[in-house]
Homo-oligomer: A and B are copies of this chain.
Amino acid sequence: MADGPTITTIAERAGVSIASVSRVLNGLPTRQETVRKVMAAADELGYVRNAVARSLKSRRTHQVAFAMADVGNPAYLAMLRQIQPVLKAAGYRLVLHSTDAVVADEIDVLHSLGERYVDGLIMSPLRVTDAHLQMLAAARAPVVIIGTVPEGTPVDNVRADSRTGVRLAVDHLHSLGRRRIALVNGPPDTWPGASRGAAYREALEQLGLPYDDDLVQIGDFYRAQGGRAVAELLERAPDVDALMCANDLIALGALDVLRAAGRRVPDDVAVVGMDDTDLAAASWPSLSSVSLGSAERGKAAAELLLDRLNGDDAAPRVITVPPRLVVRASTAGETYGHEGGRT
């Protein structure tokens, strides 16, 4: 919903057309009487910080960008749903970039900060390369990274704790009696892929389960690729009894393939996803998933960026959002009463 004064409400107050308000606020030639009415209405409605200020050649654009790694992944939409209202309430228009986690595109977005189309940026890269670090060090506007950057990187940073998250999921599967627990992961050269792979190995060790290469399958963080990875895994390790999937899209691909293969979920194979997206609760069977706090991370990132836009020049901050396991039908079967329950 729109908050605060807009050119629509200014036009109503001034008794002129919306197009006239737009002309005045954009500094285009307009009759003096119209300019007077629009400026008066804008003042009364408290619009000054916004477009009027812009038309007076302020260096601020009152736009902020959010560069999403995958606009088709509801984990990022959950972030967006928190980021947008926080920034809007503060008078910022949000623009989005869809980078598909392509490094050159992310670098281009960081570079574009020098063009002053936006006052700040929230970015969720899957890989943080040397090029990212160079650009972050030279960034011409405040940047908040949702993801993990090395210590000493001069930007605010909101992290998930997927290590603990994977641990929660593997412990849960173990407690249900599963012993052939596979990992279906994304690319290991991404931060999420690397950290989830290491966490899986660690979790098995802590439980005294052997690590078996045959039980680790690498795909990508998309549904179709997740499905293909699980099909390969089932051929190589037909005795698998549980899948830890590195995100919900992979897990949905797993459900597709298990169904087609006639494997019952969770009786034959239990499945856990990661991110606890809207799709997890809505899938059939509903999907147990580790929430990495997408919504909380989005909100924290927006608030950190607002602080910077308001002039805060404290040292870079790191916020880590704790994970939690949401148990649903894909592991709990007919069991009711867990959070989320069976839909």
A: residues with CB less than 8 A from B are: 1-2, 6-9, 11, 17-19, 21-23, 25-26, 28, 51, 54, 61, 63, 65, 71-72, 74, 77, 80, 84, 93-98, 100, 102-105, 107-112, 114-115, 117, 131, 134-135, 137-138, 140, 223, 252, 256, 259-260, 278, 282, 284, 343
A1-B102 in contact (CB<8A): yes
| Of the residues B22, B72, B259, contact of A135 by C-beta under 8 Å | B22
A19-B137 in contact (CB<8A): yes
C-alpha spacing A109/B63, complex, angstroms: 11
CB distance from A53 to the nearest CB of B (A): 12
A115-B26 in contact (CB<8A): yes
C-alpha spacing A278/B249, complex, angstroms: 12
A104-B2 in contact (CB<8A): yes
C-alpha spacing A176/B160, complex, angstroms: 50
Q: List 22 A-B contacts (CB under 8 A).
A: A6-B104, A8-B131, A17-B134, A18-B131, A18-B134, A19-B134, A22-B110, A22-B111, A22-B138, A25-B111, A26-B111, A51-B115, A54-B115, A61-B115, A63-B112, A71-B77, A72-B74, A80-B98, A93-B109, A94-B97, A95-B95, A223-B278
Known: A19-B135, A97-B96, A135-B22. A2 touches B72 (CB 8 A): no
- Please give, as numbers and ranges, the residues of chain B lying within 8 Å of A117 by CB-CB distance: 61, 63, 95, 117
CB distance from A43 to the nearest CB of B (A): 18
| Of the residues B26, B114, B260, contact of A140 by C-beta under 8 Å | B26
So how many copies of this chain end up in the complex?
Answer: 2
C-alpha spacing A282/B257, complex, angstroms: 11
- Please give, as numbers and ranges, the residues of chain B lying within 8 Å of A111 by CB-CB distance: 7, 21-22, 25-26, 51
A108-B96 in contact (CB<8A): no
C-alpha spacing A337/B312, complex, angstroms: 62
- Please give, as numbers and ranges, the residues of chain B lying within 8 Å of A104 by CB-CB distance: 2, 6, 8-9
C-alpha spacing A11/B110, complex, angstroms: 15
- Please give, as numbers and ranges, the residues of chain B lying within 8 Å of A51 by CB-CB distance: 111, 115
Known: A1-B102, A8-B131, A63-B117. A96 touches B95 (CB 8 A): yes
CB nearest neighbor in B for A95: B95
C-alpha spacing A54/B108, complex, angstroms: 14
C-alpha spacing A117/B343, complex, angstroms: 45
- Please give, as numbers and ranges, the residues of chain B lying within 8 Å of A282 by CB-CB distance: 223, 252, 256
CB nearest neighbor in B for A137: B19
CB distance from A29 to the nearest CB of B (A): 12
